[in-house]
């Protein structure tokens, strides 16, 4: 039975508690994906520090998967960096969408910009008022950053014990993850599908003739076949 004298939490505390509860599943998912990223990176031959430092400094899941995938396929660092940068250009628009949520001060805004991800922005903008949106952004952003980097570290340390990734089929993990990342966009937007088809055809056609990583960049030519897809 509840006590008639139970403590009533202030509105701010209730808001924070509910936002932590709502975003915890995103943190858990991010941590699990981070474990796979760290493990496959190290099992593929990269030193432990590469995925760990990349996750702290770059902090962009799909861009990290793509860049490391290019490296593991034999591509150079420039091709890997260009692939990651192109995939991450969408965060510029995300940053504009949440610019008023970051708060004053150069250091605060710099940290907030580093926490901008698809999940954090979507979670923040789904809130009903500016104060709750700001709180949601920082709670989800800081929590996801911590979960992702903890997962990457755990996976990287475990990856050293895996040996040859082909033995477990881990060499197929990067393509599988990338397919999973793009499927939602392909299902939701017919324009994206129309641009993806010629892009995929271009990538397949040039793969035997160009260095690893370059087919991914040339696949962007598919956007010119359907100008309306560009944003």
What would the 3-class secondary structure string for 35-56 be?
Answer: HHHHHHHHHCCCCCHHHHHHHH
The CA distance from 131 to 122, in Å, is 15
Cα 230 off chain centre by: 21
Tokens encoding 91 = 């965060």
| Residues in Cβ contact with 204 at an 8 Å cutoff, skipping those fewer than 6 apart | 215
Q: Which whole number is the average pLDDT over 160-183?
A: 59
* pLDDT tens sequence across 97-126: 777 887 778 888 888 888 888 778 878 877
Name which of 86-90, 114-118, 226-230 the model is least confident about.
226-230
Name which of 88-92, 105-109, 160-164 the model is least confident about.
160-164
The CA distance from 46 to 160, in Å, is 10
The CA distance from 190 to 185, in Å, is 9
Give me the pLDDT at residue 173, please: 56
Q: Which of 3, 37, 32, 231 is nearest to 144 (CA)?
A: 32
Cα 76 off chain centre by: 22
Give the CB-side neighbour count of residue 35, counting CA atoms within 13 A.
8
Task: Decide: pTM greater than 0.75.
Answer: no
Characterise 7 by phi-psi region: left (phi > 0), alpha (psi -120 to 50), beta (else).
Answer: beta
Name which of 137-146, 147-156, 187-196 the model is least confident about.
187-196
Give me the pLDDT at residue 187, please: 73
């Amino acid at each position: 039975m509840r006590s008639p004298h139970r403590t009533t939490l202030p509105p701010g505390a209730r808001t924070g508690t509910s936002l932590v509860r709502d975003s915890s599943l995103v943190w858990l998912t991010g941590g699990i994906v981070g474990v796979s990223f760290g493990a496959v990176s190290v099992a593929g031959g990269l030193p432990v520090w590469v995925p760990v430092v990349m996750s702290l400094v770059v902090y962009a899941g799909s861009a990290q998967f793509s860049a490391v995938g290019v490296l593991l396929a034999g591509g150079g660092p420039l091709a890997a960096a260009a692939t990651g940068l192109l995939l991450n250009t969408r965060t510029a628009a995300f940053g504009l969408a949440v610019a008023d949520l970051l708060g004053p001060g150069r250091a605060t805004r710099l940290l907030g910009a580093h926490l901008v991800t698809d999940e954090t922005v979507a979670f923040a903008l789904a809130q009903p008022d500016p104060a709750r949106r700001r709180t949601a952004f920082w709670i989800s952003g800081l929590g996801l950053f911590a979960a992702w980097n903890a997962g990457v570290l755990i996976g990287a340390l475990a990856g050293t014990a895996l040996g040859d990734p082909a033995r477990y089929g881990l060499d197929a993990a990067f393509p599988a993850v990338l397919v999973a990342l793009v499927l939602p966009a392909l299902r939701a937007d017919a324009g994206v599908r129309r641009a993806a088809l010629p892009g995929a055809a271009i990538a397949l056609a040039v793969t035997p003739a160009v260095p690893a990583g370059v087919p991914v960049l040339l696949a962007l030519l598919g956007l010119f076949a359907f100008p309306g897809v560009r944003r």
